Amino acid sequence: MRILKDFKVPNFKFPKFKMKGLSEIDEVNVDYEELKKAQQNIEKKEIKNYKGTNFKTIKEIFVNSSKKYADRVFLVEKTNPKGEWIETTYNQFKNEVIGLGTALTRKLGLKDSRVAIIGENTHYWYVSYMTMLCGAGVAVPIDKELPENEIENVLRRAKVECVIYSTKKADVIKKVAEKLPNIKYFVQMNSDNEKNGRFVGIENLIEQGKLLVQNGDNSFMNCEIDQYEFKVLLFTSGTTSNAKGVMLCNRNLAENVNAASAYVDLKPEDRLMSILPLHHTYESSIGFLYPFAMGASISICQGLKYIVPDLKETNPTAILTVPLLVENLYKKINDNIKKSKKDGLVNSMIHVTNALKNLGIDIKRKVFAEIYENLGGKIRIIVSAAAPIDAKIGKWIEDIGITFLQGYGLTETAPIAALTPDFQTKVGSAGKAVVCAELRIDNPNENGEGEILIKSKTLMLGYYEDEEATKEAIFEENGERWFRSGDIGYLDKDGFLYITGRCKNVIVTQNGKNIYPEEIEIMLSNIPEIKECMVYGKPDKKEGKELIISVKVIPDYEEIEERYNKKLTDEEIYKIIWEKIKEVNKKLTSYKAIKKLEIKHDDFVKTTTMKIKRFEELKKDK
């Protein structure tokens, strides 16, 4: 499912950095006697997982956290950029979920019906999704950026009986409602409207449900959850083909929580910022269900252009994001450091603080306090997933004292299959198999690369109404189900996974050489004048079947103007970028070298996790 043009990475703005040297920071006092002792007592820490959780259903998580963390803040949201942040406790959230669940099942008669949820990340999205997982019916999260005809198509395909939608989608939903008379109800978020035909406000329903509960109706919370029953229908992003419907059960989602808790020590004092769209499993499972299980809180970002002020106002300790956002934060911070002429000082302090940390003394948060302040002051974890990222960026994040984690998975694995443990980080890797999963490489080449196969308790039930596609993706071996990921990678001696490409993206030359465009794209991303790029094989009209290794580039016009102190013509920009690409070609084996450059003036079509939809981009050329 595509991401439309309003979902762009914003132009992050940070003030100039002053950056003090070690001698100027009063709080940093290195006790050299302590340093000697630390040096003498350094022992290799035993690497072992955290105890982790052992939940079987999301309802079990809901009941446990609602009771254990009742008075703690769960959600923090601002409904107006000029307004105040509104806090919702676990107990308040619990009452809303039970109220909505009771009203949907008892008042509207929707028990076990399919209910679509569509809208931006907002308080009532969380309430609606949790209500479905606790027994109201089957959740069908839908990408809010889909055009009207595709929303209509998904609702029809999924046989939806109710749609819960945000106010911003009201106009579209009213048009869709006219074409889909079989949908019984349309429930508007942030509305207390009484029932009017098929339309009703969610707040009105919640209050009706609460009244039923007060009068002794406990049917919603008393309903039993079958951990293996189909409970969530998600449509894949379709980066290489048409979207498939993925069927998940409660157990799949609960195992994500169990897996994450064994590798990452998230505490009730932690706060995640929700940036990515909730209809994607990465955000809804790891950015919502996991912190809920741990008693942590979530601040809901108001939108990409508000990231920096929202960070400063809500002080999150962890950010779950995608490489494109991490790369832009890294670039903007480092550009400002260079402009402030502090890059030499920062590099030297990285070396000093790394040396001290190796001896057991960590002063990074004090030394790089100014950088932390621009990210809200409390950031301790950044997680990047959904696509590869340049290892140097992850290394820099670790160098300034933030734990950098990477994850790997697909909608079909709900989504986590691999994750970096916070006690054993390995920058550049996509992590190691989570505790409920096993990874192996199918038919590896001389470099150990091959298709990644996944066996996991998080593996989907199958593709919705598509037995043929399910059989293609999942095979049985010794009574166990294995999933063909379509991704290419290798495992190192410690079991850490490295992603090198995607089967369907691979460029195969006439002499049988395989080229993975992602590998080249990471190298090109180091060229300052390039904002985004896509490497692909372009058929050679003269040579028939032979493919020319080509790249589409969106230039970074702002960077170019700043570097060359003037606006350049398209021809001049082309020449500059081509010269830089030729330098990259020198580092590549000859058959991987880029032969053709195309300057692109419009945006790439992307998924909600900001991956380029290559299939659609290449279709444009045809």
SS3 call for 249: strand
For residue 40, what pLDDT is reported? 58
Give the N- to C-terminal CA distance of the chain in Å, as an integer. Answer: 21
For the chain, which residues score pLDDT lower than 50? Answer: 1-7, 239-241
242-267 exposure pattern, b = at least 16 Cβ within 10 A, e = fewer: ebbbbbbbbbbbbbbbbbbbbbbebe
Q: Could you read off the pLDDT of 81-125 as tens digits, one per residue? A: 899 999 999 999 999 999 999 999 999 999 999 999 999 999 999
Q: Could you read off the pLDDT of 427-464 as tens digits, one per residue? A: 999 999 999 999 999 999 888 999 999 999 999 999 99
Distances (CA, A) of 326 to 270, 311, 397, 404, 520: 20, 14, 10, 11, 19
Q: What is the 3-state secondary structure (H, E, C) of 50-115?
A: CCCCCCCCHHHHHHHHHHHCCCCEEEEECCCCCCCCEEEEHHHHHHHHHHHHHHHHHHCCCCCEEE
Question: What pTM does this model have?
Answer: 0.83
For residue 565, what pLDDT is reported? 87
- Residue 391 half-sphere exposure toward CB, CA atoms < 13 A: 11
For residue 42, what pLDDT is reported? 53
For residue 38, what pLDDT is reported? 58
**Please, what are the domains in the chain?**
58-225+271-294 (3.40.50.12780), 506-621 (3.30.300.30)
What kind and span of H or E run contains 355?
A: helix 343-358
Q: Could you read off the pLDDT of 142-189 as tens digits, one per residue? A: 999 888 988 999 999 999 999 999 999 999 999 999 999 999 999 999
CB 220 within 8 A of CB 136: yes
Beta bridge partners of 547: 539
Kindly tell me the sign of the dihedral angle through the C-alpha atoms of 6, 11, 12, 15: negative
Phi, psi at 507, each rounded to 5°:
-100, 120
For residue 274, what pLDDT is reported? 96
